[in-house]
């Protein structure tokens, strides 16, 4: 009878541990996360969501005044730096004891064709979106590796990296580079139990995006090709970011997850 009793005890212990594990899923308590681009719509929504799930959040961005306002609202710790400057990125992030990163900082650039694009604008978009994301990863991961606690990184990419969108030669190219940074980083950092993923959102209609996507000759035709047929909200992007960052996604790394109402399924 002893072996049967032992088996029941082991099964009970396993079930108890499974329940405890499920309770921990999506909980960022005692975990510090850096969110760049924190004063933007998606960035701020992500800050609020992660703090609501128990994370200690460092809110990164260039605008110190807006960061201070976000910090007062949410309790996040403001960290001011310019993504295009390696010196500023290094100084701002290398000393933070981080478990996670959300690379949400970005620059939209211009709407232009390949033949009309301003190469100076192209260079700026690449510098912030692709190079900036890589700089953050470069300077936060040595500390993550040294602490030996694993971690998770989510890069905010775009559906423009997955399909060709008219006028998006600069932005789409920069986000395609972000997706490759995601894949190679996942390959290199997996042995340290650090996962790296991307989310690839569709358009979130804000004052900034309305100048183009709000045009009657642009928006309706775009939405007509999307199965869900509507613009995304900031919270609808923050949710998948939090999921990929969390232990719920503990076996997911190196993916680019479309959050686009089905646009790229066509």
Name every residue whose Cβ is closer than 8 Å to that of residue 154 and which is 6 or more positions away in sequence. Answer: 100, 101, 102, 103, 196, 197, 198, 199, 241, 244, 245
Sign of CA dihedral 210, 241, 62, 169: negative
Separation between Cα atoms, residue 69 and residue 71, nearest integer Å: 5
What angle in degrees, to the nearest 10, is found between the helix axes of 234-245 and 41-52? 50
Cβ atoms < 10 Å from Cβ of 256: 22
User: From the candidates 171, 211, 212, 263, which is the catalytic residue?
Assistant: 171
What angle in degrees, to the nearest 10, is found between the helix axes of 41-52 and 64-74? 30
171 is catalytic: yes
First CA to last CA across the chain, in angstroms?
A: 60
Contact 231, 42 (CB under 8 A): no
Comparing C-alpha atoms, which of 36, 42, 266, 37 is closest to residue 165? Answer: 266
Q: Which residues are catalytic?
A: 171
């Amino acid at each position: 009878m002893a072996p049967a009793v032992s088996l029941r005890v082991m099964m009970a212990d396993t079930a108890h541990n499974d329940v405890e594990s499920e309770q921990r899923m999506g909980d960022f308590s005692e975990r510090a996360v850096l969110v760049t681009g924190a004063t933007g719509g998606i960035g701020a929504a992500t800050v609020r969501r992660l703090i609501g799930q128990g994370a200690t959040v460092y809110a990164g961005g260039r605008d110190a005044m807006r960061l201070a306002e976000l910090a007062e609202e949410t309790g996040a710790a403001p960290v001011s730096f310019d993504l295009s400057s390696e010196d500023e990125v290094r100084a701002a992030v290398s000393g933070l004891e981080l478990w996670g990163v959300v690379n949400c900082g970005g620059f939209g650039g211009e709407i232009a064709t390949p033949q009309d694009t301003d190469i100076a604008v192209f260079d700026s978009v690449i510098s912030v979106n692709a190079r900036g994301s890589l700089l953050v990863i470069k300077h936060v991961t040595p500390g993550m590796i040294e602490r030996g606690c694993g971690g998770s990184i989510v890069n905010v990419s775009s559906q423009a990296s997955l399909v060709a969108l008219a006028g998006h030669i600069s932005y789409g190219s920069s986000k395609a580079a972000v997706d490759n940074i995601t894949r190679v980083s996942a390959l290199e950092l997996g042995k340290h139990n650090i996962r790296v993923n991307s989310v690839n959102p569709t358009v979130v209609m804000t004052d900034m995006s309305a100048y183009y996507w709000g045009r009657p000759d642009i928006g309706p035709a775009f939405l007509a090709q999307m199965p869900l047929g509507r613009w995304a909200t900031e919270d609808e992007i923050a949710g998948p970011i939090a999921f990929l960052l969390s232990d719920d996604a503990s076996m997911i790394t190196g993916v680019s997850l479309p959050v686009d109402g089905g646009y790229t399924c066509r």
